[in-house]
Chain A
Amino acid sequence: MIIALPDGSRKEMAVENARIQDLLRDLGINPVEVIVAKNGRIVPEEEMAGCGDEIKVVRIVHGG
Chain B
Amino acid sequence: MLTDAEKSRYSRQIRLFGEEGQEKLKETAVFIAGAGGLGSIVSIYMAAAGFGRIRIVDCDRVELSNLNRQVLHWSDDVGRNKVESALETLRGINPEIEVEALVETIAKDSIDRLLEGSDLIMDAMDNFPTRYLLNQAALRRGLPLFHGAISGLQGQAATIVPGRSACLKCIFPRAPPATTFPAFGATCGVIGSIQVTEAMKYVLGRGQLLQNRLLLWDGLSASMDEVVCERNPGCEACHEY
Q: Knowing A42-B228, A42-B229, say if A35 contacts B155 (CB, 8 Å).
A: no
Q: Contact: B220 with A63, CB < 8 Å?
A: no
> B154's contact among A40, A41, A61, A64, by CB below 8 Å, is which?
A61
Q: Contact: A62 with B221, CB < 8 Å?
A: no
Cβ of B67 under 8 Å from chain A: no
Q: Which residues of A contact B126 (CB under 8 A)?
A: 62-64
Q: Which residues of A contact B149 (CB under 8 A)?
A: 60-64
Q: Contact: A60 with B37, CB < 8 Å?
A: no
Q: Complex formed: what's the CA distance from A57 to B178 in Å?
A: 19
Cβ of B227 under 8 Å from chain A: yes
Q: Contact: A35 with B34, CB < 8 Å?
A: no
Q: Knowing A41-B228, A61-B150, A63-B183, say if A35 contacts B171 (CB, 8 Å).
A: yes
Q: Contact: A62 with B151, CB < 8 Å?
A: yes
A32 to chain B: closest CB distance in Å? 6
Cβ of B214 under 8 Å from chain A: yes
Near B by CB (< 8 A), chain A positions 13-64 give 30, 32-33, 35, 37, 40-42, 44, 56, 58-64
Q: Contact: A63 with B176, CB < 8 Å?
A: no
Q: Which range contains the number of A residues in contact with the other chain? A: 10 to 19
Residue of A with least CB distance to B227:
A37
Among A37, A56, A60, A64: residue with most chain B CB under 10 A: A64
Cβ of B201 under 8 Å from chain A: no
Q: Knowing A40-B228, A41-B229, say if A62 contacts B220 (CB, 8 Å).
A: no
**Besides the contacts A35-B227, A59-B154, what 6 more A-B pairs have beta carbons closer than 8 Å?**
A33-B177, A37-B228, A56-B225, A61-B151, A61-B156, A62-B128
Q: Which 5 A-B pairs have the closest CB atoms?
A: A63-B181, A61-B151, A64-B126, A37-B227, A60-B176
- Chain B residues close to A by CB (< 8 Å): 34, 36-39, 123-128, 148-152, 154-156, 171-179, 181, 183, 188, 214, 216, 218, 220-221, 225, 227-230
- Chain A to chain B contacts (Cβ below 8 Å), 25 pairs: A8-B218, A8-B221, A30-B177, A32-B177, A33-B176, A35-B171, A35-B227, A37-B228, A41-B227, A42-B171, A42-B230, A56-B227, A58-B214, A58-B227, A60-B172, A61-B151, A61-B176, A62-B151, A62-B176, A62-B178, A63-B37, A63-B149, A63-B183, A64-B34, A64-B126
